Amino acid sequence: MYVIPSQGRFLRKLLLTLEMIKFEHSVFALPFALTAALLAIFRAAPPPGQIPLKLGLIVVAMVAARSAAMTFNRIVDSEIDRKNPRTRSRQLPAGTLSARFAWGFLAAACAVFVGAAALLSPLCLRLSPAALGVVLLYSYTKRFTAWCHVVLGFALGIAPAAAWIAMRGELDPRILWLTAAVTLWTGGFDIIYACQDFDFDRREGLFSLPRRLGIGGALWVSRLFHVGMLVCLLLLWRSFAMGLLALAGVGAVAALLVYEHSLVRADDLSRVDAAFFTVNGWVSMLFFLFWAADLRFPL
């Protein structure tokens, strides 16, 4: 099929935007949201005719919210990224993508998110501005608090609670253990990632735990966060009376987190990308697979 030049330019800009926001990393929080949705289905039994549609809308809402958050982050941080040797090749500071197109993509992602929320339920629609506020706020937190990593964690952590509300129309306090787990997990691996910018953050006056505590101290906080995550997952397992497969899933997460922390040291951050991107993708996927299997075939 022949593509006219204007269409080709649009598609190229769209692909650059998806590359800029690391679209493939939507997998990080999505499996946890789907786990919450499955818990709502198998433990609380929503109307069966609505399940496929709701699951699809949850996926759409999650991807749209993350896309909006990442695009906004790249826009508001473009000047900072231009100064940082590690990030100056990103699309906005490098000039390969215009801020105008990025703003347009952000508006579209927000609209898709609100539209999906409206189709899920009136409550989801009413909560959608607050959810967008949380995921967008993170982009400013590194300017005033060293605990910006926790804010990012909470932005992802609300996903399981939101998925439960989407399926059931109300919140069950038990699912908040999964919100806490995702918050601590995300905060922990974001601290590891932020260690790369220790010198830059100190020079530019930006806030992060590595800058506040030093790289070694920050890595210890990351380890404590991940221990806290495992405790929350065990409490979630007990709260929902899950079986052996789900418990094995928690064990798999624990093994991956131990491996993640073995990859980084205060004096050697050369494998941060492997710890951040590869390992954490497996954490969420394996957790989902074990818990989905337990819900379908309990042991």
Contact (CB, 8 A) for 187 and 149: yes
CATH number at residue 218: 1.10.357.140
**Helix (H) and strand (E) counts in the chain:** 14, 0
Which of 14-23, 189-198, 264-273, 287-296 shows the lowest mean pLDDT across its residues? 14-23
Q: Determine the straight-line distance between the first and last CA of the chain, rounded to whole angstroms.
A: 52
- Decide if 280 is inside a domain: yes
Higher pLDDT pick, 43 / 109: 109
pLDDT of residue 295: 92
Q: What radius of gyration do the chain's Cα atoms show?
A: 20
Residue 2: pLDDT band (50, 70, 90) is: very low
281, part of any domain: yes
Contact 294, 249 (CB under 8 A): yes
Query: Does residue 285 surpass a pLDDT of 90?
Result: yes
Average pLDDT over residues 208-221: 97
Residue 3 pLDDT: 47
Q: What is the pLDDT of residues 78-104, one digit of tens each?
A: 999 999 999 999 999 999 999 999 999
The whole domain housing 77 covers: 16-296
Q: What DSSP character marks residue 266? A: T
Specify if 4 maps to a domain. no
Asked if residue 283 belongs to a domain, the reply is yes
Question: Which single residue is written with the structure tokens 């505590």?
Answer: 213
Task: Tell me the whole-structure pTM to 2 decimals.
Answer: 0.93
Is pLDDT at 287 greater than 80 in this prediction? yes
Q: What is the pLDDT at residue 23?
A: 78
Q: Between 43 and 258, whose confidence is greater?
A: 258
Instruction: Band the pLDDT of 48: cuts 50, 70, 90.
Output: low
Between helices 176-194 and 148-168, what is the axis angle to 10°?
150
- Return the number of other C-beta atoms located less than 10 Å from residue 90's C-beta: 18
Report pLDDT for 26. 77
Whole-number pLDDT of residue 299: 67
Query: Does pLDDT of 28 surpass 50?
Result: yes
Say if residue 121's pLDDT is above 70: yes
pLDDT in tens, 150-179: 999 999 999 999 999 999 888 999 999 999
CB 32 within 8 A of CB 287: yes
In a domain, 2, yes or no: no
Q: Is residue 11 part of a domain?
A: no
What pLDDT band is residue 46 in, cutting at 50, 70 and 90?
A: low
pLDDT for 64 equals 95
Band of pLDDT at residue 139, cut at 50, 70 and 90: very high
For residue 162, the SS3 value is helix
Residues above pLDDT 90, as percent of the chain: 80
Mean pLDDT of the chain: 92
Residue 1 lies in a domain: no
- The answer to the question of residue 45 being in a domain is yes
With a cut of 60, say whether residue 225 has pLDDT above it: yes
Q: Find the mean pLDDT for residues 70-85.
A: 95
Residue 39: CA atoms inside 13 Å, Cβ hemisphere, count?
33
Instruction: State how far the Cα of 168 lies from the Cα of 162, in Å rounded to an integer.
Output: 10
Task: Say yes or no to pLDDT of 11 above 70.
Answer: yes
Total of domains in the chain: 1
What confidence score (pLDDT) does residue 6 get? 65
pLDDT in the model for residue 1: 44
